[in-house]
Amino acid sequence: MQARLAVVAVLAVAVGTLLAAAVLKPPADVPAQDVVTTSRPAPFATRVPVSRVQTASRPAALEIPAIGVDTSTIVGLGLTPDGALERPADARTPGWFTGGPTPGERGPAVLAARDGVFGRLKDARPGEQVVVHRADHTAAVFTVYRVDHPPNPPFPTARSATPAPELRLITVDGDNVVVYARLSQAFTS
């Protein structure tokens, strides 16, 4: 009886191995597909929540669905010799002020862009979401709570200290617009 069970077990393993090999091996007449990689994190449904206050990590991409912003590059910005915020060289690329916190850290992180990216920033409304994808594969989700149109360049006002993680989106040409947003979620992919 034990010999018969051993033979059945060996046959079951052999058949299982053959079936697995047949399923995993693509047919010879099907061309291989190119592999496409992306640095964009997985959709929200597959993300795992992380601490609301995050450690420093450079912003990598920006999404503002309500106004059609979706960029996969964010450049670092410093100050000009007279203390003004630098402008991104490319009108389609936002910048992050490297002299302040990163999005998700305690304090106001500042992202600035020209009209090429932030042309519709004036249309942002309280309650809308802003998603900043970070280099550490986390995403900081902010909720807009205020939109201002100051008479002067907005950078000094945008840097006002806050006790919690916040985000400031500011224009660096055209209309002066500042969007204020609070961290509402943080995810890792």
pTM over 0.85: no
Report the alpha-carbon distance of residue 63 to residue 40 in Å, rounded. 11
Burial state string for 79-94 with b = 16 or more CB within 10 A and e = fewer than 16 = eeeeeebbebeeeebb
Tokens coding 184: 């509402």
pLDDT of residue 155: 59
The ranges of the chain with pLDDT < 70 are 1-51, 153-159, 189
Report the alpha-carbon distance of residue 68 to residue 130 in Å, rounded. 11
Report the alpha-carbon distance of residue 185 to residue 165 in Å, rounded. 11
Q: Taking the alpha carbons of 140, 146, 147, 153 in that order, is the dihedral positive or negative?
A: negative
pLDDT of residue 44: 47
Domain residue ranges in the chain: 44-188
Residue ranges of the alpha helices (H) in the chain? 2-24, 115-118, 155-158
Contact 144, 180 (CB under 8 A): yes
Smallest CA-to-CA distance from 59 within 18, 106, 96, 88 is with: 96
Q: Which CATH number fits domain 44-188: 1.10.287.130, 3.30.1490.100, 3.30.70.2740, 2.40.260.10?
A: 2.40.260.10
pLDDT of residue 52: 73
pLDDT of residue 150: 84
Smallest CA-to-CA distance from 140 within 52, 43, 76 is with: 52
pLDDT of residue 174: 77
Contact 57, 134 (CB under 8 A): yes
pLDDT of residue 168: 96
